[in-house]
């Protein structure tokens, strides 16, 4: 019974760590788009305006 409780606690800790890692990856991805993606968006809008479409 104690072993089962320990396994459940370990599974909960692993799930929490996975959720934290996913949140950190999403934040880094959003920050990357905030820095580099803005230039890509400007280049896309510039090429779009130059093409007249």
- How would you write the pLDDT of the chain (53 residues) with one tens digit per residue? 678 888 888 899 999 999 999 999 998 888 877 676 565 555 555 555 555 44
Q: Is the pTM of this model over 0.75?
A: no
pLDDT of residue 48: 55
The CA-atom distances, in angstroms, between 32 and each of 21, 22, 27, 29, 53 are 16, 15, 9, 5, 28
pLDDT of residue 33: 76
pLDDT of residue 45: 58
The CA-atom distances, in angstroms, between 38 and each of 34, 43, 45, 47, 50 are 6, 9, 10, 14, 18
pLDDT of residue 37: 54
What does the alpha-carbon distance between residue 20 and residue 27 come to, in Å, rounded to a whole number? 11
């Amino acid at each position: 019974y104690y072993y089962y409780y320990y396994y459940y606690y370990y599974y909960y800790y692993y799930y929490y760590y996975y959720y934290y890692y996913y949140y950190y990856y999403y934040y880094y991805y959003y920050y990357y788009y905030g820095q580099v993606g803005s230039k890509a968006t400007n280049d896309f809008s510039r090429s779009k305006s130059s093409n007249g479409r």
